[in-house]
Amino acid sequence: MKLRRCAVLYIESREDLSIDWRTVLSGGNALASSSHWVALAPHLDQEITIDAAQLAALGGASQTVWRERSAAEQEYGEVCIAKLLELGLLIGDTPQYAAQRARDDTLRDTHWRPLSALAHTFGRWRGVVEETGMEAPSFQALLDRFGEPPPPTLDIHPEQAIALPAPAAGRMDEQLLQRYTGRNYDLQASVPLEVVARLLQRTFGAQEVRQVGPHSEVLKKTSPSGGGLHPIEAFVLAQRVDGVAPGLYHYHPMAHELRPLETMDHEAAAALSRYMLADQHWLSGAPLQVVLVARLERSYWKYRNHQKAFRAVALDAGHLSQTFYLLATEAGLPAFITAAINDADIEKTLGLDHLRHAVVAMCGCGPAADGPRSMVELRYGETDAI
């Protein structure tokens, strides 16, 4: 049997702090620290504590060249090698280790930049329910807690400043100046199907399909996209869309269709939304919501092992979100975007693989409720809500 190291592996020295109460009582420095090694491998999707002997064995293994197991055992011991194979940090070439090898191969085949794979894998949330943690506090509460923030902008060479004329009025002003993040959705209201159709098509839909090879197409959309590849897919959570059963759908950008994944009753859709949004109840009432999912394999097909590719995917999602906001504003609807989502759980619900896909953000929109606002909403010309 042969083995090699998994493709991407980072080792972290993790510190454990403890307080020695006996020293505290005798007036000494009581903070004690110890450390241990943690192996971070994206294909395993969990942090693994390893010891110094295992660290040495991993350091001695190639990630490319296969080596006889017996040779590694001679150098590092049978128990150590068996444990690393079982953990999936070493990859074996026999059927016993096929599952770990398949995950490692998926990572290799997707052409990840290793640090990006690490940041993505270990930045995902599951089961986060932190409504108080993320609820936007008033600015006064932030000032009380953190003191004054850094200034709102840089102030470079004011003495050489060239004053610019006031901006002329333009056709986009209405949408640009009315846009705001809604946090107070009307829980009874629905969105007409025509409004949803325009929102989805003009944000996520193909405005043109270009044939670039016998079986290769690129899409032209209303937002820019790194490499023109448009790796972001729109999965729709319809809560209250006229004529559409509550549930999860994939929006097909070329066919302009909602393809059902799972329909459900209103209560189940509301609970799913709240769970996906990590309990942000001020957003979860929005009748139309969209999960932005990057198909990294499409982006990385061109940008192989590229430092900027993962960042570009996040920028793509940001552009789509602003287009969505402006179209929602045009329809008289406030909108939202959030990255504070249970992305690892959403992957499971949508049947996605985190090595090939990234659930980047969720956005949504819907009519605002009448009455007092429950949360901070920054609208132009208003200060009372801050």
Ligand X SMILES: Cc1cc2nc3c(=O)[nH]c(=O)nc-3n(C[C@H](O)[C@H](O)[C@H](O)COP(=O)(O)O)c2cc1C
State the residues that interact with ligand X by CB under 6 A.
134, 136, 180-181, 183, 280, 283, 336-340, 378
**69 vs 183 by CB, closer to ligand X:** 183
Least Å distance between CB 315 and ligand X?
11
103 vs 183 by CB, closer to ligand X:
183
Question: What are the helix (H) ranges across 49-90?
Answer: 52-59, 69-76, 78-87
Q: Cβ closer to ligand X: 283 or 313? A: 283
Q: How far apart are CA 366 and CA 237, in angstroms?
A: 13
Q: What is the smallest separation between the CB atom of 341 and ligand X, expressed in angstroms?
A: 8
Nearer to ligand X, 182 or 247 (CB): 182
Q: Least Å distance between CB 128 and ligand X?
A: 11
Nearer to ligand X among residue 165 and residue 372 (C-beta): 372
Judged by phi (left if over 0) then psi (alpha if -120 to 50, else beta), residue 252 lies in beta
Residues 289, 363 contacting (CB under 8 angstroms): yes
The string of DSSP codes covering 210-268 is EEEETTEEEEE-SS--GGG---EEEEEEESSBTTB-SEEEEEETTTTEEEEEEE--HHH
DSSP state of 159: G
Q: Closest separation between CB of residue 121 and ligand X, Å?
A: 20
Closest separation between CB of residue 205 and ligand X, Å? 22
The residue to which tokens 């159709």 are assigned: 197
> Which H or E run contains 317?
helix 309-330
The token pair at 28 is 């000494």
